[in-house]
Amino acid sequence: MGWATAYIEKLKNGETVQFRPRGNSMSGKIESGQLCTVEPVKIENLEVGDIVLCKANGFQYLHLIKAIQGERFQIGNNRGRINGWVGRNAIYGKCVRIVK
């Protein structure tokens, strides 16, 4: 169980969620503690640069899509770190609003 498990379950049930992620890996796009709204997403609508709630290499992240190859998505933060490639089943929602 990770920090986002409860949010992921709600997204899987079609609910929109809000939370305040902590950390600095997304500085410049999301600052630590800002209120983020994440909606369930249609995978076919995702684009490079979207911020998604996902699971990569066993960890839950609210990070960027850095690249797309077919049905694979490369996940990374806003500081140049790449978390890895994930399939569509590892992306649970898209961040649609950030309150500063």
pLDDT exceeds 90 at position 99: yes
> Could you tell me the pLDDT band of residue 1, with boundaries at 50, 70 and 90?
confident
Tell me the two tokens of residue 13: 């049930």
- All structural domains of the chain, each given as residue ranges with its CATH number in brackets, are 5-99 (2.10.109.10)
Bridge partner list, 94: 39, 52
Predicted local distance difference test score (pLDDT) of residue 100? 81
pLDDT digits (tens, 9 = 90+) for 15-72: 999 999 999 999 999 999 999 999 999 999 999 999 999 999 999 999 999 999 999 9
pLDDT digits (tens, 9 = 90+) for 68-94: 999 999 999 999 999 999 999 999 999
Backbone angles phi, psi at 27, to 5 degrees: -50, 140
Q: What is the DSSP string of 9-47?
A: HHHHTT--EEE---SSTTTTTS-TT-EEEEE---GGG--
- Residue pair 51/63 in contact (Cβ under 8 Å)? The answer is yes
User: What does pTM read for this prediction?
Assistant: 0.96
